[in-house]
Structures are given as C-alpha cells and as structure tokens.
C-alpha cells in the first residue's frame, strides 16, 4: 500500500496496548498495535513517517474518539479517514466493513456476498486482514461462518475484547453520537 507523502504518526496508549496512528491533514490513514501483522515499516524506520506529538486536527480527533470509544461513550467514529492507495477490491471490502453495525458481527462469507463477490471468501479475508485503519474500519466485527473468532491482524484477544466492549455498549443502547 502507498501512503500520502505528508503522513505523520503518533503513539497512543490504549487499554489494549500501544497504538500507532498515522494521519495526513485530510484524514486518519492507519491504526496499528505493536504486534499487528501488517504493520508498515514506515512506523519504525529512521526515515519513516515523522512523529507528530503537537497539535494535529486529525490525530487529536482520533485520540479523543478512541478514548471515548474505550470509555464506552462512543459507538460511531466521525474522524475523517484517508485510506492509502489500494486495489478496487480492497477498497470495496473496506467500504463493506464500514457498513457493519456496532455491536454486531458478520461472517466473511456474508461480507463477500455484500461486496458482490460471493465466491471470493478467502480474498475477502485477506482484504479484511490488510485493513489499515482497524477499530475505526471495524474488521474485528467479521467472524468465521460458524461464529468463531478468526483472523484479526491485531490479535484474537484484542478482537474478543473489542467485540465484548461493543456488545456491552449495544446492550445498554448507547446512542451513536459523535
């Protein structure tokens, strides 16, 4: 994947571990845990994306919304997203992820059908795993056909924690607010 030249990064400590956020002035471009499977080298390389700990509208908004999400006060993210260059198929799958309801799950097969590729379940799984903006583009809501927790690039324990948090919010009918 190719990210914009003006991408910067910030590290934030979440309840599930350190998160590296990447953003441009136009939107959030990435969110990864330290042990994320598809973590881009630009996060850790000496000549990679510069650290930006000062004021930055997108990074500040992302951190505030993530904190509210983990505090169980936010069910819908409003921070703008600027996805990196990707294939049309990947973009279609990621768009399908954005349609998944808070507190609910769907199977990879259901997502394949929803994105118009009913026989491309494995390819959908690969695209889901390569989602660069986890949590905000909710790839953790996709489960196996039998409901089993499978395939989260941030780790299955985090996937379980995110789903439990959202299901708890859904049971308490948290309004979708910004």
Query: Which has the minimum average pLDDT: 3-12, 44-53, 168-177?
Result: 168-177
Q: Is the pTM of this model over 0.85?
A: yes
If pLDDT is split at 50, 70 and 90, which confidence band does 170 have?
confident
> Is 8-70 in CATH node 3.30.160?
yes
pLDDT in tens, 61-101: 999 999 999 999 999 999 999 999 999 999 999 999 999 99
Q: Where are the alpha helices (DSSP H) in 72-131?
A: 88-98, 108-114, 121-129
- So what's the pLDDT on residue 173? 57
Query: By percentage, how much of the chain surpasses pLDDT 70?
Result: 96
Cα separation of 72 and 103, whole Å? 12
Fold entry, domain 88-171: Arc Repressor Mutant, subunit A (1.10.10)
pLDDT at 19: 97
Q: How far apart are CA 91 and CA 55, in angstroms?
A: 30
Q: Residue 168: which pLDDT band, with cuts at 50, 70 and 90?
A: confident
Active site residues per annotation: 139
pLDDT bucket at 177, cuts 50 / 70 / 90: very low
- Tell whether the model's pLDDT for residue 102 goes beyond 60: yes
Q: Say yes or no to pLDDT of 172 above 80.
A: no
Domain boundary assignment for the chain: 8-70, 88-171
């Amino acid at each position: 994947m190719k990210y914009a030249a003006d991408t910067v990064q910030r590290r934030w400590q979440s309840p599930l571990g350190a998160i590296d956020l990447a953003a441009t002035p136009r939107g959030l471009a990435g969110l990864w845990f330290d042990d994320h499977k598809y973590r881009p080298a630009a996060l850790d390389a000496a000549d990679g994306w510069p650290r930006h700990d000062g004021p930055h509208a997108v990074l500040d908004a992302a951190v505030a919304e993530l904190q509210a999400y983990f505090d169980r006060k936010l069910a819908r993210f409003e921070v703008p997203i600027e996805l990196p260059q990707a294939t049309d198929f990947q973009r279609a799958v990621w768009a399908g992820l954005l349609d998944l309801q808070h507190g609910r799950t769907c199977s990879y097969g259901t997502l394949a059908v929803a994105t118009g590729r009913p026989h491309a379940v494995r390819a959908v799984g690969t695209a889901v795993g390569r989602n660069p903006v986890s949590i905000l583009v909710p790839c953790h809501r996709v489960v196996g056909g039998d409901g089993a927790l499978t395939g989260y690039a941030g780790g299955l324990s985090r996937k379980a924690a995110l789903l439990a948090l959202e299901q708890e919010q859904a049971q308490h009918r948290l309004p979708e607010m910004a």
